Structure 1
Amino acid sequence: MFSRSSMKNPAYRRYTRRMLPLSLLYVGAIMLASWLVHDRSTISAVSVGLALLPGLAILGWIWAMARLLIELDDEFLRLLEVRKFLVATGVTLAACSVWGLLEIYTNVPRLPVFLVFPLWAMGLFVGMLVNRITLGTAGACA
């Protein structure tokens, strides 16, 4: 989450106001789809719609992160956010590529594709640590 001082920045306040309802939509959509759509259900407009509903929240998260970059006036804070995004992308690409090779050449379990975005989100934490270690600050994060 963000530190108290960063919440004085209007861009971070708007980001938080966007992310909270999207997060609630995601959790609610996952719960609804899990309750109403059984594993390996027959394809219908309802099952496809319910299965895709959490994806709308993910698209919203991506949009909210892009808006944060656009709205941040402080170039240093923008740099810190971009660096976090780049590290998260590198972590995700590396993990998925290595795991994919293991899937091809060994008998490891398949990585469900829907886990790629949560992996990327965890990579943001790694990016925050990289910022703290290399630049002495993680930025807006506490």
Structure 2
Amino acid sequence: MTSSRTNPAYRRYVRRMLPLSLAYVGAIGLATRVIPDHAAADARTLGFAILPGLAVMGWIWAMARLLVELDDEYLRMLEVRKFLVATGFTLALCSVWGLLELFAPSIPKLPLFFVFPLWAVGLFVGMLFNRLTMGPSGRA
């Protein structure tokens, strides 16, 4: 079994994620600089606001490609478990927070923008879950 450091699928994954991450940071910076506060929802504003979302879609595509390209079934299973834990973590947090918003109106609103970053935090939780339940071999 190859490790995540030597597996070609992981190397391709990193080569995809790095430029997408730079594009995301750049697009956020550009949108922040170009779109004034309380801007009208015109074509220009929407276009700049959507740019970071394209990078997020690229991240999702890169993660899907990783699952497709991983030849090692054990490593693929570890990734799928991380994704499932991240999804459950995000759904639970967003559902509970949404109920708090509904029944306790003084609770601050959680912008939808934070759902994907919460899911990314959930990937870390999933990695810890893999390590705790699978031992040292549970690190992908």
- What is the TM-score normalised by the length of structure 1? 0.93
CA distance in 2 between counterparts of 1:30 and 1:92 reads 22
1:98-113 to 2 correspondence within 5 Å? 98-106=96-104, 107-113=106-112
Percent identical pairs in the alignment equals 69
> Could you tell me how far 1:23 is from its partner in structure 2?
0.1
> Could you tell me how far 1:138 is from its partner in structure 2?
3.5
The counterpart of 2:32, out of the listed 10, 31, 34, is 34
Deviation readout 1:45-72 (Å, 9 max, x if unpaired): 1111000000000000000000000000
**2:78 is the alignment partner of 1:80:** yes
**What SS does the corresponding residue of 2:5 show, helix, strand or coil?**
helix
Alignment partner, residue 43 of structure 1? 41
Q: Which moved more, 1:34-43 or 1:96-105?
A: 34-43
**2:132 is the alignment partner of 1:128:** no
Alignment partner, residue 113 of structure 2? 114
CA distance in 2 between counterparts of 1:8 and 1:131 reads 19
Unaligned runs of 5+ in 1: none
Q: Which has the higher contact order (CA 8 A, sep 6+)?
A: 1
Alignment partner, residue 14 of structure 1? 12
CA distance in 1 between counterparts of 2:138 and 2:44 reads 43
- What is the TM-score normalised by the length of structure 2? 0.94
Runs of 4+ with >6 A deviation: none
> Could you tell me how far 1:135 is from its partner in structure 2?
0.6
Unaligned runs of 5+ in 2: none
RMSD: 0.9
The counterpart of 1:53, out of the listed 46, 51, 54, is 51
